[in-house]
Amino acid sequence: MSYFQTFTRLTAPALATLGLAFTLTTLPGCGSRSGTDSENAAVVADTTKPVVIDTVKLKMEAMRRDSLKADSIAKKNGQLPGAILPGHRIIAFYGNIRSKGMGILGREPKEQMFRKFEGVLKEWQAADPSIPVQAALHNVTITAQGTAGKDGKWRLMNSKATIEEVLSWAKEHNCLLFLDVQPGHSTLQAELPKLEQYLKDPIVHLGIDPEFSLSTMPGVRPNQKIGTLDAKDVNFTVNFLARIVSENKLPPKVLTVHRFTRKMISNYKNIKLDPRVQIVMHMDGHGEPTLKKDSYKAYIQNEPVQYTGFKLFYEYDARPKPHHIMTAKEVLAELTPKPLYIQYQ
């Protein structure tokens, strides 16, 4: 059987209550009353006026009911149908198919890259036969830039043609596709809606990168300083994905959050879980194995959220000699908890 096989679904421990994941705001005028009682009574009595239906309120009520249903399923069965984690280990090739410099995805010709990927998947499956591997492509789709651009936001989104091409690669090889966001001086609130049409596809998932989130650092260019996101930004992203899952009757989405310093994610304890979104805190740093393991312990193991991930760099982890890229067996033997998302750049 090919290691680019489609995935089955297993169960996991119950997640946090879904009711905490949504903050509903009352729209101006919704459910409010003005004037005297007699005036209001007169309005009610006037049957000649058309009934105004608050579609926004009805939609929010439907989402609330759906949230409660999802929460009850998660409590009873451990998680929602179609959840990928923890029943699989995701192995991802990262980069941008239009760039040779951003990672293995795009650095090598397509077919050569997939042959290499097949070997990597076999390595991981052999290292831990107890859990099936699931292949993924992780494409940086909104990329921090070295110039501000017309709107001064220091980021650029891939073209529709590029996104559709990498999506076709993923479907051709039975991979998941992660669309990664480096917001620059924009915000997740402004950028994520641009990807909603693609996230409606069941195989498309999301990554967010605090390193290149600089909206709180005026005048700082990408790569000058390490950026930051707060729990509220992660919670916004979770709610954004959860809504897409509910409205389109999709299996849960996976959200990867890159991290290799403490300040990259503030107030991590305030991150709220939702059974429709599986959060992976992903150790994204490069260097020699001891440094990488220490970072994983400090920022992933010691500040747990839900699931964990680990990145391996083809170009940087082996510098200088005699340092080397950690093998699958080394990662599984030396990291606690064993990561369920592995990314190669």
307-335 tens-digit pLDDT: 999 999 998 888 877 788 999 999 999 99
Predicted local distance difference test score (pLDDT) of residue 321: 77
Tokens of 330: 């080394």
Q: How confident is the model at residue 287 (pLDDT cuts 50, 70, 90)?
A: confident
Main-chain phi, psi angles of 304, to 5 degrees: -70, 145
pLDDT digits (tens, 9 = 90+) for 84-114: 999 999 999 999 999 999 999 999 999 999 9
Q: Which of these, 186, 224, 178, lies nearest to 203 by C-alpha position?
A: 178
pTM of the model: 0.79
3-state secondary structure of 211: helix
Tokens of 186: 């924009």
Q: Which residues are CB-contacts of 285 (< 8 A; sequence separation ≥ 6)?
A: 260, 291, 292, 295, 311
Q: Are 182 and 140 in contact (CB under 8 A)?
A: yes
User: Is 146 a domain residue?
Assistant: yes
194 and 264 inside one domain = yes
71 and 95 inside one domain = no
User: Is 1 a domain residue?
Assistant: no
Q: Are 326 and 314 in contact (CB under 8 A)?
A: no
Q: What is the mean pLDDT of the chain?
A: 84
153 and 298 inside one domain = yes
Residue 239 CB neighbours (<10 A)? 17
C-alpha to C-alpha distance for 296 and 292, rounded to whole angstroms: 6
- Sign of dihedral through CA atoms 212, 218, 220, 221? positive
Predicted local distance difference test score (pLDDT) of residue 320: 77
Q: Are 10 and 76 in contact (CB under 8 A)?
A: no
211 and 73 inside one domain = no
C-alpha to C-alpha distance for 43 and 52, rounded to whole angstroms: 12
User: Is 4 a domain residue?
Assistant: no
Predicted local distance difference test score (pLDDT) of residue 94: 98
Q: How confident is the model at residue 31 (pLDDT cuts 50, 70, 90)?
A: very low
65 and 187 inside one domain = no
Question: What is the average pLDDT across 192-203?
Answer: 98
User: Is 10 a domain residue?
Assistant: no
User: Is 5 a domain residue?
Assistant: no
C-alpha to C-alpha distance for 16 and 273, rounded to whole angstroms: 5
C-alpha to C-alpha distance for 232 and 238, rounded to whole angstroms: 10
Predicted local distance difference test score (pLDDT) of residue 23: 34
Helix (H) or strand (E) holding 115: helix 110-127
* Domains held by the chain: number: 2
C-alpha to C-alpha distance for 126 and 51, rounded to whole angstroms: 64
Q: Which of these, 233, 158, 225, lies nearest to 190 by C-alpha position?
A: 233
Predicted local distance difference test score (pLDDT) of residue 322: 76
271 and 129 inside one domain = yes
Domain final position from 9, 44, 77: 77
238/41: higher pLDDT: 238
Which range is least confidently modeled, 1-10, 139-148, 170-179, 182-191? 1-10
What residue type is assigned to position 105 of the chain? L
- Is the confidence at residue 83, as pLDDT, over 70? yes
Domain final position from 28, 51, 77: 77
Question: What is the average pLDDT across 21-31?
Answer: 32
pLDDT digits (tens, 9 = 90+) for 244-263: 999 999 999 999 999 999 99
37 and 132 inside one domain = no
Q: Are 153 and 109 in contact (CB under 8 A)?
A: no
Predicted local distance difference test score (pLDDT) of residue 46: 45
Dihedral-angle region of residue 267 (phi above 0 means left; psi in -120 to 50 means alpha; beta otherwise): left
User: Is 267 a domain residue?
Assistant: yes
Query: Can you give the residue range of the structural domain that contains 32?
Result: 18-77
Q: Which of these, 133, 159, 155, lies nearest to 144 by C-alpha position?
A: 155
User: Is 12 a domain residue?
Assistant: no
User: Is 168 a domain residue?
Assistant: yes
Predicted local distance difference test score (pLDDT) of residue 110: 96
Question: What is the average pLDDT across 206-220?
Answer: 95
**What's the half-sphere exposure (Cβ side, CA atoms, 13 Å) at 150?**
0
Predicted local distance difference test score (pLDDT) of residue 61: 60
C-alpha to C-alpha distance for 289 and 296, rounded to whole angstroms: 11
User: Where residue 194 sits, what CATH number does that domain have?
Assistant: 3.20.20
Q: Are 327 and 310 in contact (CB under 8 A)?
A: no
- Is the confidence at residue 241, as pLDDT, over 60? yes
